[in-house]
Chains A and B, each alone.
Chain A
Amino acid sequence: MNDLKNSNTRIVVTRLVAVLVVAAALLLAGGAQAATPGINGTGPAGAPVFNLDAAANYISQPDGAQIYSWGYGCAAGFAPTFAPAVFTTLHLGVCSNMQVPGPTLIVKEGDVVTVNLTNNLPVGAGNTSIVFQGFQVCAGTITAGVCNANSGVAGLLTREAPPCPASTPACTTNTVSYTFVATTPGTRAYYSGTQLDLQIEMGLYGAIVVLPNTVPTGCKALGNDTGQKLGIGNTGDDFRLAPSAYDHPETCYDREYLFQFMELDPRIHTQAEAQVRAIATCVASASNICPTSLSVKTEPYHPTYFLINGRSMPDDMDVDYSPNYPHQPYNGNPHMHPGDLTLLRTIGQGRWEHPFHQHGNHVRILARDGNLILSQNDTQTPPRLGGRMEFTTDTYPGQSYDGIFYWSGKGLGWDIYGHAPGILGNPTCTPDVNGYDTSAAAVAAGNYYEWCQDHNHPLETNPVGQVGGGGPVTQFDPQIATNGLWYNGSPYLGPDAVNRSAGPTPQPPGRATQNPQPESGIAFMWHSHNEREITTNDLFPGGMLMMMLVDPPVWFIDETL
Chain B
Amino acid sequence: MRKPYQICLLLLVGCFVPGIVSAQSPTAQGGGSFMLQCPTTTAYHPTVYPAGAGEPAYTGPSPLSVTVGGVTFSAAANADHQHPPYISNGGQIKCQEISGGDGMMTEADGNQTYMFSFGPLSGIDNIQHGLPGTLLNTDFNNPCQLNGTGPVVNCYYNNPMLPSVCGPAAPASCPTAGAAGISGNAAITDPTYDPSKPINLNAGVRDPATMITLGVLNGNIPAPLMAFDEDDEFFLTLSNVGMIMRPDLFEQHTVHFHGYPNASSYYDGVPDASWAINIGGSATYYYLAPDAGTYFWHCHITPPEHLQMGMVGQLYVRPRQNRVPQDGTTLYHSLQLQQNDLRTACNTTSATNQDLLCSVPMPLSDNGVQHINDSFGQPTKYAYNDGDGSTAYDIDVPIQIHGFDPNFHFVGMTFNPEGFADMKDKYFLLNGRSYPDTVGIPGYAGGPTVAAATAAGSPDVASNAIGTEDTDGRTRFSQPLPTLITLKQGQKALLRIADLDVTEYQTLASLGIPMKVIGFQAKLLRDQAGNNMYVTTNSITVGGGESLDVILDSTGIPPGTYFLYTPNLDHLSNGPENFGGLMTEVVVQ
Q: Do they bind each other? A: yes
List the interface of chain A (C-beta within 8 A of B). Answer: 4, 7-8, 10-11, 14-15, 19-24, 26-28, 60, 62, 64, 217-218, 249-250, 302-304, 324, 341, 353, 355, 357, 359-362, 364, 374-380, 383-386, 388-392, 394, 404, 406-413, 416, 421-422, 426, 428-431, 433-435, 452-460, 462-464, 468-487, 490-491, 504-510, 522-525, 527, 529-532, 534-535, 537-538, 540-541, 547, 550
Pick from B17, B263, B415, B533: contact of A386, CB below 8 A: B533
Q: How near does chain B come to A512, taking the closest CB pair, in angstroms? A: 9
4 other A-B residue contacts (CB within 8 Å) besides A481-B275, A524-B273:
A435-B342, A470-B71, A479-B33, A522-B265
Q: How far is the CA of A21 from the CA of B4 in the complex (A)?
A: 9
Whether A431 lies near B28 (C-beta < 8 A) is: no
- Interface of A: prevailing SS: loop
Q: How far is the CA of A428 from the CA of B84 in the complex (A)?
A: 10
Whether A509 lies near B19 (C-beta < 8 A) is: yes
- Give the chain B neighbours of A476 by CB distance below 8 A: 28-29, 33, 35, 277, 281-284
Pick from B87, B263, B533: contact of A453, CB below 8 A: B87
Q: How near does chain A come to B359, taking the closest CB pair, in angstroms? A: 9
Q: How near does chain B come to A333, taking the closest CB pair, in angstroms? A: 14
B503 close to chain A: CB less than 8 A: yes
Q: How far is the CA of A15 from the CA of B248 in the complex (A)?
A: 13
Q: How far is the CA of A510 from the CA of B267 in the complex (A)?
A: 22
Total count of chain B residues near the partner, CB < 8 A = 123
Q: Within B328-366, which residues are at the interface with A (CB < 8 Å)?
A: 342-343, 348-349, 351-357, 364
- Contact (A452, B270) CB under 8 Å given A483-B21, A507-B23: no
A-B contact pairs, 8 of them (CB 8 A): A355-B545, A392-B545, A407-B262, A456-B82, A456-B84, A475-B27, A504-B27, A538-B420
Pick from B44, B71, B421: contact of A421, CB below 8 A: B71
Whether B276 lies near A482 (C-beta < 8 A) is: yes
- Give the chain B neighbours of A375 by CB distance below 8 A: 527-529, 531
- Contact (A27, B288) CB under 8 Å given A476-B277, A547-B272, A547-B273: no
Whether B28 lies near A474 (C-beta < 8 A) is: yes
Pick from B5, B22, B421: contact of A303, CB below 8 A: B421
Q: Mark B46-90, 1 if CB is under 8 A from A, else 0.
A: 000000000000000000000111110100000011111011000
B243 close to chain A: CB less than 8 A: no
- Across the interface, name the chain B residue whose C-beta is closest to A458: B69
B416 close to chain A: CB less than 8 A: yes
- Interface of B: prevailing SS: loop
Q: How far is the CA of A120 from the CA of B355 in the complex (A)?
A: 49
B186 close to chain A: CB less than 8 A: no
- Give the chain A neighbours of B284 by CB distance below 8 A: 473-474, 476
- Give the chain A neighbours of B276 by CB distance below 8 A: 481-482, 484
- Contact (A357, B258) CB under 8 Å given A24-B3, A392-B546, A473-B37: yes
Whether B529 lies near A507 (C-beta < 8 A) is: no
Whether B27 lies near A508 (C-beta < 8 A) is: no
Q: How far is the CA of A392 from the CA of B522 in the complex (A)?
A: 11
Whether A26 lies near B15 (C-beta < 8 A) is: yes
- Give the chain B neighbours of A355 by CB distance below 8 A: 505, 543-546
Q: How near does chain A come to B147, taking the closest CB pair, in angstroms? A: 30
Q: How far is the CA of A227 from the CA of B270 in the complex (A)?
A: 26
Whether A478 lies near B23 (C-beta < 8 A) is: yes
Q: Mark B279-294, 1 if CB is under 8 A from A, else 0.
A: 0111110101010000
Whether A509 lies near B502 (C-beta < 8 A) is: no
Q: How near does chain B come to A109, taking the closest CB pair, in angstroms? A: 22
B24 close to chain A: CB less than 8 A: yes
Q: How far is the CA of A541 from the CA of B84 in the complex (A)?
A: 43
Whether A473 lies near B28 (C-beta < 8 A) is: no
Q: How far is the CA of A479 from the CA of B304 in the complex (A)?
A: 27
Q: How far is the CA of A428 from the CA of B79 in the complex (A)?
A: 10
Q: How far is the CA of A409 from the CA of B505 in the complex (A)?
A: 31
Pick from B24, B503, B531: contact of A376, CB below 8 A: B531
Q: How near does chain A come to B403, taking the closest CB pair, in angstroms? A: 11
Q: How far is the CA of A22 from the CA of B12 in the complex (A)?
A: 11
Most buried by A among B307, B356, B423, B522: B356
Q: How near does chain B come to A471, taking the closest CB pair, in angstroms? A: 7
Q: Mark B253-279, 1 if CB is under 8 A from A, else 0.
A: 000101101111111101111111110
- Across the interface, name the chain A residue whose C-beta is closest to B270: A525
Instruction: Give the total number of A-B pairs whose CB atoms are below 8 A apart.
Output: 401
List the interface of chain B (C-beta within 8 A of A). Answer: 1, 3-9, 12, 15-30, 33, 35, 37, 39, 42-44, 67-71, 73, 80-84, 86-87, 233, 235, 252, 256, 258-259, 261-268, 270-278, 280-284, 286, 288, 290, 300, 302-305, 307-308, 342-343, 348-349, 351-357, 364, 411, 415-417, 419-423, 501-505, 520-523, 525, 527-529, 531, 533, 543-546
Whether B68 lies near A458 (C-beta < 8 A) is: yes
Whether B543 lies near A217 (C-beta < 8 A) is: no
Whether A481 lies near B353 (C-beta < 8 A) is: no
- Contact (A459, B286) CB under 8 Å given A11-B416, A362-B261, A362-B521: yes
Report, nearest first, the 4 A-B pairs whose CB atoms are least far apart.
A470-B69, A529-B545, A355-B543, A480-B281
- Across the interface, name the chain A residue whose C-beta is closest to B45: A472
- Contact (A388, B521) CB under 8 Å given A10-B417, A531-B307: yes
Whether B21 lies near A506 (C-beta < 8 A) is: yes
Most buried by B among A304, A362, A474, A524: A362
Whether B18 lies near A389 (C-beta < 8 A) is: no
Most buried by A among B282, B415, B416: B416
Q: How near does chain A come to B112, taking the closest CB pair, in angstroms? A: 21
- Give the chain B neighbours of A505 by CB distance below 8 A: 25
- Give the chain B neighbours of A374 by CB distance below 8 A: 527
- Give the chain A neighbours of B364 by CB distance below 8 A: 377
Whether B262 lies near A410 (C-beta < 8 A) is: yes
Whether B21 lies near A64 (C-beta < 8 A) is: no
Q: How near does chain B come to A233, taking the closest CB pair, in angstroms? A: 24
- Give the chain A neighbours of B258 by CB distance below 8 A: 357, 391-392
- Across the interface, name the chain A residue whose C-beta is closest to B71: A421
Q: How far is the CA of A318 from the CA of B302 in the complex (A)?
A: 22
Most buried by A among B23, B265, B266, B342: B265
Whether A484 lies near B272 (C-beta < 8 A) is: yes
Q: How far is the CA of A476 from the CA of B419 in the complex (A)?
A: 34
Q: How near does chain A come to B23, taking the closest CB pair, in angstroms? A: 6
- Give the chain B neighbours of A478 by CB distance below 8 A: 21, 23-25, 28
Whether B420 lies near A475 (C-beta < 8 A) is: no
- Across the interface, name the chain A residue whose C-beta is closest to B355: A434
Pick from B3, B278, B303, B348: contact of A324, CB below 8 A: B3
Q: How far is the CA of A360 from the CA of B277 in the complex (A)?
A: 21
